[in-house]
């Protein structure tokens, strides 16, 4: 995974690809979270395969792409019509393909300005949360992370409670991984980083995009601390300082 979908940390993909090649292995990276959000050069990274998805960069849902370096052998898992150069049989989604290409062009063109803007907004939100709410931890690498990812763990309360309270204020966030939103289990990513189950359960993730503004950040920092304070008052684990 080029960049983690929960905590936003960008992995050392170039180094990992080098190690894989030293041992004679092909290297694939899931770059769904990163393509369109930060510069990616497959030649610089040295990856053999890279996957991306349209809906993560404002393209159509249900369309994606797999980059395959010339000379890398891939065996098909769907057979029949021999579409996509005999790699994936099935009628091609031409409107989706065109939409994906257009969305990618727009996203890449906006990267020089949009990337730094979102990174500044991310850092502003993270700093504001850590300063205004005690016993709050920033999850993931502080700087080597997706420009639009804010992920923190708030002690003594459940992430789901915070999600519901924020929804009432018109703010959409997630707790843990959105890909596992139907699960009550704590995020395996956060547990794998060495945090306890209760810390993983207290996680909140914000994903920033092109429509988010400084005013949105101000609003979030205004309404979220009182929500945390109210939920902590009901928590048997919290001892007020």
Hey, which residues are catalytic here? 179
3-class secondary structure, 38: strand
Please check whether residue 211 is in contact with residue 197, taking contact to mean a CB–CB distance below 8 angstroms.
no
Q: How many other β-carbons are positioned within 10 Å of the β-carbon of residue 45?
A: 19
Q: Is 221 helix (H, G, I), strand (E, B) or coil?
A: helix
CB atoms within 10 A of CB 139: 27
* 50 strand-pairing partners: 29, 67
Query: What's the rounded Cα separation, in Å, for the pair 85 and 235?
Result: 58
Distance CA 8, CA 112 (A): 19
Residue showing tokens 């990812």: 149
CA angle, 97 as apex, 177 and 67 as ends, to 5°?
65
What gap in Å lies between CA 213 and CA 223, rounded to an integer?
16
The count of residues in the chain is 241
d(CA 26, CA 101): 26
């Amino acid at each position: 995974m080029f960049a983690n979908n929960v905590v936003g940390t960008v992995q050392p993909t170039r180094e990992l690809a080098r190690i894989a090649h030293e041992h004679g292995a092909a290297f694939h990276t899931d770059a769904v979270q990163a393509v369109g959000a930060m510069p990616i050069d497959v030649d610089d990274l040295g990856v053999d395969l890279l996957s991306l998805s349209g809906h993560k960069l404002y393209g159509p849902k249900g369309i994606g792409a797999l980059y395959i370096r010339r000379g890398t052998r891939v065996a098909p898992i769907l057979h029949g019509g021999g579409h996509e150069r005999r790699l994936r049989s099935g009628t091609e989604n031409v409107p989706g393909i065109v939409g994906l290409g257009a969305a990618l062009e727009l996203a890449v063109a906006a990267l020089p300005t949009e990337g730094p803007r979102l990174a500044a907004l991310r850092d502003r939100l993270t700093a504001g949360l850590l300063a205004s709410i005690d016993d709050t931890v920033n999850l993931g690498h502080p700087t080597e992370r997706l420009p639009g990812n804010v992920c923190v763990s708030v002690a003594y309360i459940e992430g789901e409670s915070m999600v519901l309270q924020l929804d009432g204020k018109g703010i959409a966030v997630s707790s843990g991984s959105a890909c596992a939103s139907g699960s009550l289990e704590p995020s395996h990513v956060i547990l794998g980083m060495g945090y306890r189950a209760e810390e993983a359960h207290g996680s909140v993730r914000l994903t920033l995009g092109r429509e988010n503004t400084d005013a949105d950040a101000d609003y979030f920092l205004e309404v979220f601390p009182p929500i945390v304070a109210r939920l902590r008052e009901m928590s048997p684990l919290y001892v007020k300082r």
